[in-house]
Amino acid sequence: MSATVTISNRQFGRVPLPAEFLARISARFGNGFTQSRPILEQHGSNESHFGQSVPDAVVFAQSTADVVALVNLCAEYGVPITPYGAGTSMEGNALAINGGISLDMSQMDKVIAVNAEDFDCVVQPGVRREELNVHLRDQGLFFPIDPGANATIGGMASTRASGTNAVRYGTMKDAVLSLEIVTPQGKVIRTARRARKSAADYDLTRLYVGSEGTLGIITEVTLRLHPVPETISAAVCSFDTLGGAVDTVVQSIQCAVPLARVEILDKKQMVAVNRWSKLDYPEAPTLFFEFHGSAANVAEQVETVKTLAEANGGSAFSWSNLPEERTKLWRARHEAYYAAVNMRAGAIGWATDVCVPISRLAECIAETHVDLDASSVPATILGHVGDGNFHVIFSIDPDAPDEMAEVEAINARLVERALAMDGTCTGEHGIGIGKQARLVAELGDAVEQMRMIKRALDPQNILNPGKIFAMI
């Protein structure tokens, strides 16, 4: 019996699509509509530990007009729509757990405009973040939000993604200036203009960013951009203890060092990284840094952090301005999830996602390590230590149900620990399927306010139903 979490018990109200509906969808979208089993299975899977949940059909949108047409048809027949980007979500956010249509946005992948003088751009939701930065490179600009995966911009906006650069550049809620949205009624609205600030009543942009496709479908995103720094330097430092590594980061922030990136990896994660990426870093708690600024400013930042690290048990501090060295370092970090999961052949992964105030981070990690040391399931810790967000990555035997139950218990204690420290159950993955009860524990009656918004904007409950919270 597989230990992978099943989705079938969540597929309430799933019924076959009406033949008339299928005929009309097929006539409208032609080759952009499919019920091919391999494509359905592709869209029924993602990076999470949840089992497969295939939609009844997939529609590939190529324009806002396509999205409007689909929404109108689905509203007429009461058919659910689940927006789908790159399939990299970690909480089952894009799984069609109630069947219906998986709306693939990957072909809406145009960079519509780059306003270099204003440091912003307008893109379609299917644009991938890496391709966007290639497009921007010649203009001396870059988009800093880096969740690790080469996710789509629309998917990143819908889950309020962040990642390795968040300590300096913020998250998607800071990066998104405006959205074009198709509402559940098939209307096209724009949430804001390109001005950097506005006092024009409700902040609709922030409402839709992080709503996981439950309130509207994103068809355009206006993004804040940044100039490429004059100098970029990467550094690595090993520590005697995880506490020493965390203290170095907290003290660096207190000293106003403008860290661009700072990632923490525990000893087991470094063992996995060395094996997966064929590196030879010391197998000890480690910080990966990146510094941005002028040559003089970067040199000053590096020297300050090096001094703090040495005082906290840091050693083997090395840094480089060479692009190839930076690329090697961050490729290893971005592949750390796969490195951890593949320490066991045939394993499946579960990445947790709590975030706490940085003053409580060392304590939270230390208490979590006690749990992990007592567990029979291999696990590592890594995370965006500069903003208090860290992950535990479990490597689970899919044929051992007891391991999944053990991990669920450890994750429950981890979330309870984070909430007790005034933290959150999710720093960047979103709620999706897996954290709905945690959201209630975190925000209480505020969740009912969210349901009221959902009922008002999507009374038929056709947009990504079953995500974030149950409609009770």
Output the six-digit token pair for 68. 């409007």
**Alpha-carbon separation of residue 260 from 64, 122, 449 (angstroms):** 36, 24, 36
pLDDT (mean) for 118-126: 98
Q: How far is CA 8 from the centre of its chain?
A: 24
For all residues of the chain together, what is the average pLDDT?
A: 93
Torsions phi, psi of 341, nearest 5? -65, -40
pLDDT (mean) for 28-53: 91
Is the pLDDT confidence value at 88 over 90? no
Q: How confident is the model at residue 13 (pLDDT cuts 50, 70, 90)?
A: low
pLDDT (mean) for 189-213: 95
Amino acid at 451: R
- All structural domains of the chain, each given as residue ranges with its CATH number in brackets, are 8-107 (3.30.43.10), 111-227 (3.30.465.10), 231-420 (3.40.462.10)
CB 420 within 8 A of CB 382: no
Is the pLDDT confidence value at 307 over 90? yes
More confidently predicted of 13 and 330: 330
Q: How far is CA 299 from the centre of its chain?
A: 32
Amino acid at 441: A
pLDDT at 47: 76
- CA 47, 50, 52, 56 dihedral sign is negative
Output the six-digit token pair for 434. 């897996």
CB 264 within 8 A of CB 381: yes
Rounded Cα–Cα distance for residues 459 and 215 (Å): 10
pLDDT (mean) for 88-102: 93
pLDDT (mean) for 274-293: 96
Residues in contact with 368: Cβ distance below 8 Å, sequence separation at least 6, in sequence order: 381, 392, 414, 417
Is the pLDDT confidence value at 7 over 60? no
pLDDT at 2: 35
Is the pLDDT confidence value at 1 over 60? no
**What share of the chain has pLDDT > 70, as a percent?**
97
Note the pTM of the prediction, 2 decimals: 0.93
pLDDT at 9: 32
pLDDT at 149: 86
Largest Cα–Cα separation, the chain = 71
Q: Which residue from 193, 317, 155 is spatially nearest to 252, judged by alpha carbons?
A: 317
Which 3-state string (H, E, C) describes the chain? CCCCECCHHHCCCCCCCCHHHHHHHHHHHHHHEECCHHHHHHHCCCCCCECCCCCCEEEECCCHHHHHHHHHHHHHHCCCEEEECCCCCCCCCCCCCCCCEEEECCCCCCEEEEEHHHCEEEECCCCEHHHHHHHHHHHCEECCCCCCCCCEHHHHHHHCCCCCCHHHHCCHHHHEEEEEEECCCCCEEECCCCCCCCCCCCCHHHHHCCCCCCCCEEEEEEEECEECCCEEEEEEEEECCHHHHHHHHHHHHHCCCCEEEEEEECHHHHHHHHHHHCCCCCCCCEEEEEEEECHHHHHHHHHHHHHHHHHCCEEEEEEECCHHHHHHHHHHHHCHHHHHHCCCCCCEEEECCEECCHHHHHHHHHHHHHHHHCCCCCEEEEEEHHHCEEEEEEEECCCCHHHHHHHHHHHHHHHHHHHHCCCECCCCCCCCCCCHHHHHHHHCCHHHHHHHHHHHHCCCCCECCCCCCCCC
pLDDT at 89: 87
pLDDT at 82: 98
pLDDT at 8: 35
Q: Which residue from 221, 342, 191 is spatially nearest to 274, judged by alpha carbons?
A: 342
Torsions phi, psi of 137, nearest 5? -55, -40
Rounded Cα–Cα distance for residues 126 and 129 (Å): 9
More confidently predicted of 48 and 304: 304
Tens-digit pLDDT profile for residues 41-54:
999 987 778 878 99
Is the pLDDT confidence value at 275 over 70? yes
- CA 324, 329, 330, 336 dihedral sign is positive
pLDDT (mean) for 25-31: 97
More confidently predicted of 359 and 120: 120
**Alpha-carbon separation of residue 184 from 25, 172, 428, 450, 464 (angstroms):** 17, 23, 25, 16, 11
Neighbours of 255 (CB within 10 A): 12
pLDDT (mean) for 391-412: 95
**Alpha-carbon separation of residue 219 from 112, 227, 255, 316, 431 (angstroms):** 12, 26, 42, 47, 22
pLDDT (mean) for 421-444: 95
